A and B are shown apart, each in its own frame.
Chain A
Amino acid sequence: MIKLENINKQYDLGTVKVNALKNVSLEIKRGDYAAIMGPSGSGKSTLMHILGILDSASRGKYYLEDYDVTSLPDREQARIRNQHFGFIFQSFNLFPELSAVENVMLPMSYAGVAAKTRREKAVKLLEDVGLSHRLTHLPTMLSGGEQQRVAIARALSNDPDLILADEPTGNLPSDKGEEILEILESLNRRGVTIVMVTHNPEQSKRAGYVIELRDGAVIKESDTLEGKDV
Chain B
Amino acid sequence: MFKEPYKIILRRFRDRPLESGLLVLAVALGIGAFSAGFSLLMNTVSYSRNLMSSPEYKELIFSTRSNSEEMETPVREKLVQETAVLKVSDLEAAKMAPGVQWAFVQNRAHLRLITRDSQISSPPEAMGPPAPPESAEGGTSKNNFFTISDDERAAAEKDESVVIAELDEISGYEVTPQFFNAWGITAADGSLFTDTDLNSTANIIVLGSKLASLIAGEGNNPSILLGKKLLTREGYQTIIGITNPVSSSYDSEYFAPYRDQSGGVSGFRRRFMDTQLRFAVYNPSDLDQTAELLKNWFAAQFGEDQITVSNPRAEAMQLVKRNGGIGILILFLSAAGFFIALVNVSNILISRVLRMKKGVGILMAVGAAKKDIMNLFLLETVLIALLGGAAGTALALPLSNYMREAAGITTASWLFTAVGVVLSGIVTVLFGIIPSRHYMKIDPAEAMRS
Q: Interface residues, chain A, CB within 8 Å of chain B? A: 45-46, 49, 52, 54-55, 74-75, 77-79, 81-83, 87, 89, 93, 95, 97-98, 102-103, 105-107, 109-111, 115, 154, 158
Contact A89 B359 (CB under 8 A): no
Cα separation A45 to B3 with both chains bound (whole Å): 30
List the 10 shortest-distance A-B pairs measured between CB atoms, nearest first.
Answer: A82-B367, A55-B445, A78-B369, A110-B367, A97-B11, A49-B445, A107-B366, A106-B4, A109-B3, A87-B365
Nearest CB on B from A19, distance (A): 16
Q: Is B79 an interface residue (CB 8 A)?
A: no
Using an 8 Å CB-CB cutoff, how does the interface string of B325-364 with A read, 1 for contact, 0 for none? 0000000000000000000000000000000001101111
The docked-state distance in angstroms from the alpha carbon of A121 to that of B51 is: 69
* CB-based contact B364/A54 at 8 Å: yes
B71 partner residues in chain A, CB cutoff 8 A: none
Bound-state Cα–Cα, A103 to B12, Å:
15
CB distance from B373 to the nearest CB of A (A): 10
B152 within 8 A of A: no
When the two chains form their complex, are residues A75 and B7 in contact, meaning their CB atoms are under 8 A apart?
no
**Given A54-B448, A93-B358, A93-B362: A105 in contact with B368 (beta carbons within 8 A):** no
Q: How far is the CA of A49 from the CA of B448 in the complex (A)?
A: 9
| Chain B proximity of A171: nearest CB distance (Å) | 14
A95 to B10, CA, bound (A): 13
**Would A97 and B8 count as touching, CB distance under 8 A?**
yes
List 18 contacting pairs A-B, 8 Å CB cutoff, sorted by A: A49-B444, A49-B448, A55-B444, A75-B371, A77-B369, A82-B366, A82-B367, A93-B358, A93-B362, A95-B359, A97-B12, A98-B8, A106-B366, A107-B367, A110-B366, A110-B367, A110-B372, A154-B366
Separation of A75 and B371 alpha carbons in the complex (Å): 8
Nearest CB of chain A from residue B379's CB, rounded to whole Å: 14
Expressed in whole angstroms, the minimum distance between the Cβ of A127 and any Cβ of chain B is 19
Binding site for A on B (CB under 8 A): 1, 3-5, 7-8, 11-12, 15, 358-359, 361-372, 443-445, 448-449
Among candidates B5, B359, B372, B444, residue contacting A54 with C-beta atoms closer than 8 Å: B444
B364 cross-chain contacts in A, Cβ below 8 A:
54, 78, 81
Cβ of A102 and Cβ of B4 under 8 Å apart?
yes
> Roughly how many angstroms separate A175 CA and B448 CA in the complex, as a whole number?
26
* Beta-carbon contact of A78 and B372 below 8 Å: yes
Chain A, residue nearest B449 (CB): A45
> Are the CB atoms of A97 and B365 closer together than 8 Å?
no
If A46-B445, A102-B7 touch, does A111 touch B362 (CB 8 Å cutoff)?
no
Whether the pair B4, A105 counts as a contact (CB closer than 8 A) is yes
Task: Report Cα–Cα, A74/B369, bound state, in Å.
Answer: 6
Closest to B6 in A: A109
Whole-angstrom distance between the alpha carbons of A89 and B448 in the complex?
9
Query: In the complex, A75 Cα to B365 Cα: how many Å?
Result: 12
B-side contacts of A55, CB under 8 Å? 443-445
Contact between chains at B7 and A79 (CB < 8 Å): no
Residues of chain A within 8 A (CB-CB) of B4 are 98, 102-103, 105-106, 109
- Knowing that A74-B370, A93-B365, A98-B4 touch, tell me 13 more A-B residue pairs with CB under 8 angstroms: A46-B445, A54-B365, A54-B444, A78-B370, A81-B365, A83-B367, A93-B358, A95-B8, A97-B11, A106-B366, A107-B367, A109-B5, A115-B3
In the complex the two chains form, what is the Cα distance from A13 to B359 in whole Å? 25
Residue from B362, B444, B449 whose CB has the most chain A CB atoms within 10 Å = B362
Please tell me if the beta carbons of B448 and A93 are within 8 angstroms of each other in the complex: yes
Q: How far apart sit A78 and B370, CA to CA, in the bound complex (Å)? A: 8
Quick check: B368 and A110 within 8 Å, CB to CB? yes
